[in-house]
Amino acid sequence: MIDLHIHILPGIDDGAQSPEDALEMARIAADSGVRAMAATSHGDFSHCDPEEYLNLYDRRLMEFRRLLEEHKIPVNVYSGMELMVNRSFLRLAEQRPLPGIGGGRYLLVEFLFDTSGSLALERLKRLQRLGYQLILAHPERYEFAKRDPERLKEFYREGILLQVNRGSILGQLGRGAARTADWLLSMGLAGLVASDAHDPVLRTSDLEETARILDLYYGGKRVGNSAREKSCQNPEVRRKYKQHLASILVILREI
């Protein structure tokens, strides 16, 4: 398995707080079948100097890779960030390349949870016009999506990959998130499932149980399949969506 959303670099955000925590998260992930992950620390550039933060991230990533090698934990860790899309971020996007998964053009993005669906989609389209491919982190947790999950079809049609959280599937992030995650998976709109792990105890990197649930309850509607409803049955939309999923796997294999 590949986990494209995990806060495993120690001491850089609200994820792993020590090298020991980070190593334990890596062990848990490896034991559950994860062989590759993107270390997606939070990236909110409205509160820090982007260059300083990106340099700090690069140092922590190299240090963590050395730790994994020393402790012989069989997980490959790639670069990436969970990028907060706000006005500061959009200005930055006009000025410099953004930190994508594995250094590529795929961005893992998020919003404040009370952001409206129309504003979120408008800002993501701006990033697409700059040539980026987008993965929307935990769409099931946004208030607009919990009120009206159908709104997420608009994101799907635009080729934005929808990444559902492990914790939402397991019912750990509230009933609204659980219901919306179930809807996304049942409709076949979810492109990815990831841990969004922050620690080795509560929000962990163990994807084994999540994989069993996906096989048991959603096996006939595999993650990444197109929705079955007429409004999402456009063959070109399905083709582009699957192409994006395949491209991410190619990026990871080539690094």
The number of domains in the chain is 1
Domain that holds residue 131: 2-254
Task: Report phi then psi at 43, rounded to 5.
Answer: -130, 90
**Mean pLDDT across 8-32:** 97
**What's the first-to-final CA gap in the chain, in angstroms?**
17
Residue 106: left if φ>0, alpha if ψ -120 to 50, beta else—which one? beta
- Angle in degrees, CA 244, 149, 242, rounded to 5: 15
Question: Which pLDDT does position 226 carry in this prediction?
Answer: 34
Question: Which pLDDT does position 75 carry in this prediction?
Answer: 97
Among 32-41, 109-118, 143-152, 224-233, the least confident range: 224-233
Question: Which pLDDT does position 8 carry in this prediction?
Answer: 98
- pLDDT-derived band at 72 (thresholds 50, 70, 90) equals very high
pLDDT of 38 over the 50 cut: yes
Question: Which pLDDT does position 248 carry in this prediction?
Answer: 55
3 state DSSP class of 192? strand
Q: Which tens digits make up the pLDDT trace of 183-224?
A: 999 999 999 999 999 999 999 999 999 999 999 999 844 454
Per-chain mean pLDDT for the chain: 90
**Mean pLDDT across 72-78:** 97
Question: Which pLDDT does position 224 carry in this prediction?
Answer: 47
pLDDT of 50 over the 80 cut: yes
pLDDT of 255 over the 50 cut: no
Q: How far is CA 166 from CA 2, 26, 81, 89, 193, in A?
A: 13, 16, 18, 27, 7
**What percent of the chain has a predicted confidence (pLDDT) above 90?**
85
Closest of 66, 73, 136, 146 to residue 107, by C-alpha:
136
CATH number at residue 41: 3.20.20.140
CB–CB of 37/80 below 8 Å? no
pLDDT of 251 over the 80 cut: no
CA dist., res. 43 & res. 2, Å (int): 21
Question: Which pLDDT does position 219 carry in this prediction?
Answer: 80
